[in-house]
């Protein structure tokens, strides 16, 4: 059985060996978002990376993250079953490492793509850096953000503390619906209706 200190050691080893990708993947699993795309903006020209990353399916990210954590002998199920307090202490450790490596401000998780109940971090980043981002990309992510607000407002779960199994199943259904809408790469390359009209 792998203990908490074993995992902490592995995380620190990855940090020393500059294997930050493994740590980022582990963070995705710890936050229960194994198919979460992420963007590490190392150059000021952000558009090519966004365009590149949106080409991939959520399944691609899941497999990538899974293969990364397997490199440190962790299985997805073990991370999933880990108690919350252990998960929290590992997330804290990882975030500290990312901060020390000065990448916390240029690392953006696009959790929204698979879960409409998360924060739209990528759109916030795009808004902040509009001068370095292609206008079409801004428009696309603005459209996604509008859709997001729409779906969340229509399927609100009045300020509940405890979610019944029925509520969770309903949330899962909405997530599936959202994934079919904005989880697929095709959606990010579709021309919008107005462009089609202009082209014709």
Partner 1 sequence: MKAYLTFVRQKNNQDLSFLGIQNPENISEALPFKLISGQPIISIVKDKNLIALYLIDANSELFQVYGEEDFLFMLRYLEDYSNINLPKYNSIKQILLDSFSCLSIKEFEAYDKEMKKFEDKIFYELLHTDLNYIRIQNHISKEIKKLSIDSIVLDRMAHSCKMSKQLTLKQMRKKVDVNLSGYGIHINAFIS
In whole angstroms, the minimum distance from the beta carbon of 39 to partner 1 comes to 25
* Long-range contact set of residues 179-187: C-beta below 8 Å, sequence gap at least 24: 179/58, 179/113, 179/114, 181/147, 181/151, 182/112, 182/113, 182/144, 182/147, 182/148, 183/57, 183/58, 183/113, 183/114, 184/57, 185/54, 185/55, 185/56, 185/57
Q: Which stretch binds partner 1 (CB under 8 A): 14-22, 102-110, 165-173, 184-192?
A: 165-173
Neighbours of 182 (CB within 10 A): 21
Task: Note whether 60 binds partner 1 by CB under 8 A.
Answer: no
Task: Note whether 165 binds partner 1 by CB under 8 A.
Answer: yes
Task: Note whether 156 binds partner 1 by CB under 8 A.
Answer: no
CB 47 within 8 A of CB 134: yes
Q: Which CB atom, from 51 or from 89, has the smaller least distance to partner 1?
A: 89
Task: Note whether 163 binds partner 1 by CB under 8 A.
Answer: yes
Q: Which CB atom, from 76 or from 185, has the smaller least distance to partner 1?
A: 76
Task: Note whether 177 binds partner 1 by CB under 8 A.
Answer: yes
Task: Note whether 83 binds partner 1 by CB under 8 A.
Answer: yes
Task: Note whether 170 binds partner 1 by CB under 8 A.
Answer: yes
Q: Which CB atom, from 161 or from 193, has the smaller least distance to partner 1?
A: 161
* Phi, psi angle pair for 31, to nearest 5°: -90, 10
């Amino acid at each position: 059985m792998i203990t908490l200190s074993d995992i902490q050691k592995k995380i620190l080893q990855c940090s020393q060996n500059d294997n930050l990708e493994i740590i980022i993947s582990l963070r995705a699993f710890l936050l229960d978002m194994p198919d979460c795309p992420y963007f590490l903006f190392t150059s000021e020209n952000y558009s090519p990376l966004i365009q590149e990353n949106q080409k991939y399916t959520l399944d691609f990210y899941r497999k990538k993250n899974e293969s990364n954590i397997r490199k440190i002998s962790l299985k997805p199920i073990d991370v999933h079953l880990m108690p919350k307090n252990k998960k929290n202490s590992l997330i804290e450790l990882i975030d500290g490492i990312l901060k020390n490596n000065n990448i916390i401000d240029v690392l953006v998780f696009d959790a929204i793509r698979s879960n409409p109940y998360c924060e739209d971090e990528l759109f916030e980043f795009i808004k902040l850096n509009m001068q370095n981002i292609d206008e079409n990309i801004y428009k696309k992510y603005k459209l996604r953000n509008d859709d997001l607000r729409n779906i969340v407002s229509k399927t609100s779960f009045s300020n509940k503390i405890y979610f019944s199994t029925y509520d969770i199943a309903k949330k899962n259904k909405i997530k599936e619906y959202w994934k079919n809408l904005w989880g697929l790469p095709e959606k990010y390359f579709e021309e919008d209706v107005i462009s089609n009209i202009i082209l014709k």
